Amino acid sequence: MTYGELISEIVNSFNSTKKDMRIPKRYILNTFKKNAEFIMSQKLRDRSLYREEDLFTWLNCVELRKEDIISCPIIEFKTCKRLMRTKKKLPKILSSIFGYAILLVTTIDGEYEYKVKTLSSYNTLKRRPNFGKFKGKYTYIKDGYLYIPDSDVEVVNILLLTLDEDSEEMSECSDSNLKCKSIWDRDIKVADKILTPIIQQTVQEVSLRFNIPIDENSNLDVNIKSK
């Protein structure tokens, strides 16, 4: 299902009870994405979504730059000799109590992988007597940027879970045509098993916002097309 098909299905369900009702498509889309992020974040807690890799997005050739250690606002990195940070902010990444939904951060040849850690776990790691062998092997997210301390890597690939339609802008060497594709023509990256309740929640919120009675006979199951 594309975003355009989703919006049409929801608008048609409203038209069955209130003809010629004009609801901004962007408002419906933003409401849907808000609900999707909330429900998907809940599903991340049982780690079931991590098995559905087709929901994740590759950001290829993400560029990093050297960060000035002295002016770096992150105190945990003050003792690093080198620090790399993504040039651009990452798209909004879905997260849970287990952290950000990032499957992989690798060099562009895929031979070297960086493990995603929290700053608190990094502090714990620094106190270990054998910390030296862990240097340059971890990455961290802070204020929307990805940091890799004790490394000179300038380009990485990232596999993450996001509903941000502009996420492809981070990919400097992507051959994808998404940059030229309308948001309405893009496929919805939401697991089928939770898509229907997300749509139903969206319909409920939009109907309350615009004072539209809900058609009890309306079929908004993702697997059954509206008539």
Q: How is 91-155 classified by DSSP, letter by letter?
A: PPPPEETTEE-EEEEEETTSS-B-EE--HHHHHHHHTSTTGGGGTTSEEEEETTEEEEET----E
Q: How confident is the model at residue 217 (pLDDT cuts 50, 70, 90)?
A: low
Is the confidence at residue 143, as pLDDT, over 70? yes
> In percent, how much of the chain has pLDDT > 70?
86
What mean pLDDT is predicted for residues 6-23?
80
Q: What pLDDT sits at residue 30?
A: 95
How many Cα neighbours within 13 Å face the side chain of 58? 15
> What is the structure's pLDDT at 80?
76
With a cut of 70, say whether residue 219 has pLDDT above it. no
- Tell me the average pLDDT across 30-44: 95
> Any idea which of 58-62, 180-184, 199-203 has the lowest mean pLDDT?
180-184
Supply the DSSP symbol for 188.
P
- Is the model's pLDDT at 224 over the cut of 50? no
The pTM assigned to this predicted structure is 0.84
* Distance, C-alpha 94 to centroid of its chain: 5
What pLDDT sits at residue 225? 43
- Structure confidence at residue 174 (pLDDT): 64
